[in-house]
Chains A and B, each alone.
Chain A
């Protein structure tokens, strides 16, 4: 097939870097509010019915939302195999914890209201809390670690290796900067969950959600600024020192990388990327204002814009790096040397172009059908078909 040569390899690589961002942001915008609602659950619902209201706002949609995450994993596997291989095994125990927390969530949604016992429901409420809060935190921690570089290297067969024993590896991930990044992601998604609840609920649940959500939003705002300052002055960046092999084979060891200078150099080289952190901060600030003023749909949209800005700021700051290595900088994965082959990238792009619009269309239709508030009366009237 010569068809795939229509699009040069370097262009495909950048497109797939953008699509990776689209998937991660799509995940954060949709499943993000599911996780936020989970993390808010013990605080917004004081009675069983109130908690069921919160759960039922996401009940019909969390499953579809979660596919953004699964598809993200699949797309990384298909388009960035070295990234998939190194990150999933390098963060082994952290991935296991995320997995365990994410498995609790579907089960919690589905099984919680299938029995009447208070102990049963309480147990699942905690499962949903863990299933929301833990991944939200760990995703931020992971980003914090990626910005600092992760200790991995390749042997001559391109086998990824990582030093240290397993407990130390896990504890090593929980360094102060990574935890700060974790605070950003957790508080941001709690704010997003609150914005969702303010659209979908009324009365006591909504009041509590907006109160907690506006505090979470302010925490996210401050933590994001702190993380930015720390990144500028306390974290060493990475840059490629050899000729950039845009169209070369995907072998990370073919280029040389230096661990020096600052990530913030990117803002001097490409000033326009400053728009991302500005959008992030503006979105969060407006979402907090909206929550306090009791605005609904516009708040949710601002919250989405904030998340979009924050996540894209990380990607744009690091470009072309995807996963730098602190142990062996030359092994760092970049947009130019960690992708699939030309043909695979092309085929996957065709598939994405066919199916993404369809996915967006039917997802929008489902949200439209389910539009409207979930009330205490709803869940009490119908205790069987809803969660």
Chain B
């Protein structure tokens, strides 16, 4: 096994996936914000809301297209770079990807053209429905992708078939309603909504600071603050942790996130700060807050969170069981399934640990020949590198809480303080625009780096999942992606900034005229009595 290939494949996947996720969160959230704005337009028939819809939809479009383009890479990369993975779990993992195409992506992509080209060809209500279908399609997309990803974290509803040498589905229901997947879905789309809300608030604040497009900006902030507040609460409260107790490796990830080397009596304390030391298995300079971790991790005061050392001992035992399963597997394959009931029974008892035997393939070709020292090393491999997970998780959580604070503030000012935003708040809103992206990337990093050394938790090690490629292949495509994606990113940012600077450019006259009339009506200049309570 060539370690270079594994590292390069991981690097390429991480890079292309994280790049893809620069565009996805904004698509998820902005599609809904645009649909909300258009709904207000259809209900009130006020041109300002149509202008807002079209303006934010333009920015949505610039972002959306790169999400689609880079999503192509994701769909193909499993087969291109992870061919053994694709063979080994395609029977389960492929299904949600295909359903995503059938149910969600087709809808989103078919209607997005009409969303931009259909203003003249559709009635307002029909156009609004089209916009909603795009938003719903994108969000359903996320659901199926996260069902696929959730299965990698918690592989339920499947069993190993020795004759086809792969995992096969036993319960579609279990795969779809995998608790890890459901938690991930809520967490991820909420994060997307926060991203879009921060983006809309930031851009609108910039307009306010510049004294431009005030009417568009204040209405946009009102929508974004309300939508963003609900989402920011949802991200944190309905966090991603509910599934961390389900499997051995999810427990390992939780322990790594907390740098919890030894099992503590329940409820465990939360390490606010510390420098994890993988070598000595301790966290230096740690500042603990009692009880909090137990509450976050288990939602109880009595359940324990298992520490890393204890989990490694468990891994060692599972490796030994896995070797038994591996031995039986060879017998079954040799006889094409025609083996004695005893062998079959023993195999079925241990097959759940077969993946652990594969961990030995890094050290020895035939896991049955492994020495005790090698088993020990393989067991140690089940601990991911702790400090990056520990820190990325903390940073993400801190950002998450700061979004709640930001949204609460803007929500209060927009609803009860007459939308009189102080300049410092507007500046802050502009500055934090990149923050939700950082938080989202950190979140993915925590989840996926924390899953190591597995691609599918406990079933298939990452090192075994790769394609039989050469270093030359990988360097070529890796450099190709870096160059290509960098150019695209520069172009995208350039266009985004250009169109933000340009501001709303559609329906300018009709909106201006309406605003004038609206203003006259409110102030009584149109001859009627002044309206004391503005309608919006």
Contact = CB atoms under 8 A, between A and B. Distances in A.
B79 A85 contact: yes
A385 B117 contact: yes
A363 B102 CA distance: 13
A102 B91 contact: no
B350 interface: no
Interface stretch (A159-167, A181-189, A299-307): A159-167
B388 to A, nearest CB: 29
B91 A81 contact: yes
A270 interface: no
B80 A74 contact: no
Interface in A82-121: 82, 84-89, 92-93, 95-96, 99-100, 102-103, 105-107, 109-111, 114-115
Nearest to B494: A115
B173 to A, nearest CB: 8
Contacts of B79: 73, 77, 84-85, 87-89, 95
Given A89-B81, A249-B161, A63 B101 contact: no
B512 interface: no
B101 A70 contact: yes
Contact of A250 (B83, B164, B488): B164
A368 to B, nearest CB: 10
A225 interface: no
Interface in B443-492: 467-470, 472-473, 476-477, 480, 484, 488, 491
A363 B477 contact: no
Contacts of A60: 113-114, 116-118
Interface stretch (B63-71, B213-221, B245-253, B313-321): B63-71
A351 B103 CA distance: 8
B506 A344 contact: no
A103 B69 contact: yes
A156 B111 CA distance: 47
B94 interface: yes
Interface string B202-236: 00000000000000000000000000000000000
Contacts of B99: 348, 351, 355
A78 B87 contact: no
Nearest to B466: A89
Contacts of B65: 106-107, 109-111
Interface string B56-94: 000001100110111111011011110110110011111
Contact of A64 (B61, B66, B110, B165): B110
A315 B63 CA distance: 38
A340 B172 CA distance: 13
Given A74-B94, A77-B78, A89-B79, A370 B121 contact: yes
B243 to A, nearest CB: 23
B431 interface: no
A249 B122 CA distance: 52
Contact of A96 (B95, B477, B499, B506): B477
A70 B468 contact: no
A1 interface: yes
B113 A84 contact: no
B369 to A, nearest CB: 16
Contacts of A351: 98-99, 102-103
A157 B88 CA distance: 10
A92 B467 contact: yes
Contacts of B169: 341, 343-344, 347
A124 to B, nearest CB: 10
B68 A355 contact: no
Contact of A385 (B73, B100, B119): B119
B468 A344 contact: no
B112 interface: yes
B87 A166 contact: no
A67 interface: yes
B172 A347 contact: yes
Given A77-B79, A159-B468, A162-B468, A85 B86 contact: yes
Nearest to B101: A71
Interface residues of B, number: 77
B511 to A, nearest CB: 15
Contact of A85 (B83, B488, B506): B83
B381 interface: no
A250 B169 CA distance: 14
A93 B168 contact: no
Which among B98, B161, B168, B333 has the greatest number of chain A C-beta atoms within 10 A?
Answer: B98
Contacts, number: 249
A385 B106 CA distance: 22
Contacts of A250: 164
Nearest to B61: A110
Contact of B100 (A74, A102, A369, A386): A74
A62 B116 CA distance: 13
Given A88-B83, A106-B65, A100 B98 contact: no
A362 B112 CA distance: 12
B117 A78 contact: no
Contacts of A75: 98, 101
A157 B166 CA distance: 9
Given A77-B90, A103-B484, A343 B106 contact: no
A362 B106 CA distance: 10
A157 B121 CA distance: 57
Contacts of A363: 110
A84 B78 CA distance: 9
B18 to A, nearest CB: 16
A356 interface: yes
A61 interface: yes
A66 interface: yes
Given A84-B86, A88-B79, A385-B119, A347 B111 contact: no
A309 to B, nearest CB: 26
Contact of A67 (B69, B101, B118, B122): B101
A167 B75 CA distance: 24
A359 interface: yes
Contacts of B495: 111, 114-115
Given A85-B84, A96-B480, A370 B109 contact: no
Contacts of B86: 77, 81, 84-85, 88
B102 A89 contact: no
B270 interface: no
Given A67-B106, A92-B80, A254-B336, A59 B98 contact: no
Contacts of B360: none
A89 B83 contact: yes
A233 B90 CA distance: 38
Contacts of A106: 65, 68-69
B402 interface: no
B484 A92 contact: no
A63 B68 contact: yes
Given A74-B100, A102-B69, 6 more contacts: A70-B71, A71-B101, A78-B97, A84-B86, A344-B168, A385-B117
13 contacts: A1-B172, A64-B106, A73-B79, A77-B78, A77-B97, A92-B473, A99-B72, A102-B69, A107-B65, A159-B468, A166-B472, A355-B102, A359-B106
